[in-house]
Structure 1
Amino acid sequence: MSTTSYIFVAGTSRGVGQEIAKYLIAHNIKVKALLRTETAAKELEVIGVHPVLGDALNIDDVERAILENEPIQAVISTLGGLPTDSVKPDFIGNKNLIDAAVKAGVQKFILVTSIGSGDSVVAMPPQALEALKPVLILKEQAEQYLINSGLNYTIIRPGGLKSEPATGNGILTADPRIVGSIHRADVAQLVCRCLNSTNANNQILSALDRNMIYPGLPEFVEFNLD
């Protein structure tokens, strides 16, 4: 990635998005982020993120963040709603980001969703699927909108997320039947590797820790980013 332009990361106030921002900055890549609160903006500024105040649900805020000032080379979105959100950003927030990215002519859009979205629904245990179904529907809508946008995309669907430090055992597979767990920091590393991988262009991939894949699943092939 160029050192003169920015990677725009949505969802940096917590979780995988924040891990992605930390990883990019540690590798001397400039990061710009849209944040809803002054508190979050200040916290991210401390680690080197260039914050822009705004809400992903507001298209004007998103366009201002992506289209104005510094050039954006790629967009990474980990947007996902909390149970307390009355309007979840999983579709509409990502739609706004995708529309702005199209206008800005970004080189790549990486969308982080979840195993259980789209054709990976087959990997989910029925009980978990029932609980997560409303949000998985929104995530699938966002995936389809990105696929149809004309942007160069990579969709990453992590398994169950854990907060411990990276293990280095994160893998990707294009096989939608595989499910398990992965640490957020390992998802971040895989996402960032996809930025420079032409193999990852226009792919939908599941992200898992090779040591935390559920037993009894079919044999599968690891996806090669190099």
Structure 2
Amino acid sequence: MTTPLHVLVTGATGRTGAIVVQKLQQRPEQFVARGFARSEAKVKELFGTTEGVYLGDIGDPDRLKAALEGCDALVILTSAVPQMKAPPEPGQQPEFVYAEGGTPEQVDYQGQLNQIGAARAVGVKHIVLVGSMGGTNEQHPLNRMANGNILIWKRKAEAYLIGSGIDYTIIRAGGLQDQPGGQRELIVGKDDALLANPPDGVPTSIPRADVAEVVVQALIAPNARNKAFDVISKPAGTPGAVVTTDFAALFEETTPGL
């Protein structure tokens, strides 16, 4: 009988983070899940209890170390979130801003470096980082949003993780959908090639639940380690598509390095 992996999920109250926590909790023979989040009220709303969840900020390395003590793996699901300034006037484009202390540089770069540093300090062996496709394009619309360069900062943090000496899995998801998982064929790629030339015109999107399953599978699949890849899905019901269930085979299609 194998010993369950102790895993900390940061961003545990986010829409994807909460699914990852729930999936880990559903497999107690494989995982002991911990969460890390800022809002006690949101934790209680989502999970019904704060048991197993550390409250804190990713800007606090000591709190991160306390949450990570005894963990085998860390899943990073934190991200800066742009906010609309005000409803736009008819015919005008909406304007966005990042909250004070919540810019991409602070959250997606320094916040991730804090998490990686804390994980290294306590001996975590594997970090799964969930990012976004588009980081090779400085002109991507998400980079221009509130002049935050969010995908560029994410990419810099990914490079730091690769150089950290800790085993990594970097999952760059396409556009996230609130749709059921386990119903689609997943496609992996590299360096935004899927954005530039999606196969057969497949939309460059993926359900959050499928991303969460890729995270869970990456924690236990040896051939997911030290890999970085983009991932999208074929639409449910696509003729000829084969629903992805063999994740070891999927990870065989991925490669090391940024």
TM-score, length-scaled by structure 1: 0.82
Aligned match of 1:85: 99
Q: Does residue 1:178 correspond to 2:180, yes or no? A: no
**Cα shift readout 1:139-168 (whole Å, capped 9, x = no counterpart):** 012101101110000100000011122143
Tell me if structure 1 keeps the 8 A contact 2:58–2:115: yes
- 1-side partners of 2:141 and 2:250: how far apart? 32
3-state SS of 1:6 partner: strand
Name the Cα RMSD after superposition: 2.5
Q: Does residue 1:224 correspond to 2:226, yes or no? A: no
Aligned match of 1:42: 44
Aligned match of 1:55: 57
- 1-side partners of 2:160 and 2:43: how far apart? 28
Tell me if structure 1 keeps the 8 A contact 2:68–2:118: yes
Tell me the matched-pair count: 209
**After the TM superposition, which residues 1-226 of structure 1 pair with which residues of structure 2 at under 5 Å, given as runs?**
2-3=3-4, 5-28=5-28, 29-46=31-48, 50-67=52-69, 71-83=70-82, 84-88=98-102, 89-117=107-135, 119=136, 121=137, 126-127=140-141, 130-131=144-145, 134-169=149-184, 171-176=186-191, 177-179=193-195, 180-211=204-235, 224-225=250-251
Amino acid corresponding to residue 113 of structure 1 in structure 2: G
CA-CA distance at 1:133 after TM superposition: 6.0
**Cα shift readout 1:100-138 (whole Å, capped 9, x = no counterpart):** 111121121000010012x4x39xx85455438611121
- 2-side partners of 1:33 and 1:167: how far apart? 24
Tell me if structure 2 keeps the 8 A contact 1:33–1:49: no
Tell me if structure 2 keeps the 8 A contact 1:23–1:189: yes
Tell me if structure 2 keeps the 8 A contact 1:44–1:51: no
Q: Which deviates the most, 52-61 or 165-174? A: 165-174
**Cα shift readout 1:9-55 (whole Å, capped 9, x = no counterpart):** 00111211111111111122221112212213323553786111110
TM-score, length-scaled by structure 2: 0.73
Tell me if structure 2 keeps the 8 A contact 1:160–1:182: yes
Q: Please, which runs of 5 or more residues in structure 1 have no aligned partner?
A: 213-221
3-state SS of 1:136 partner: helix
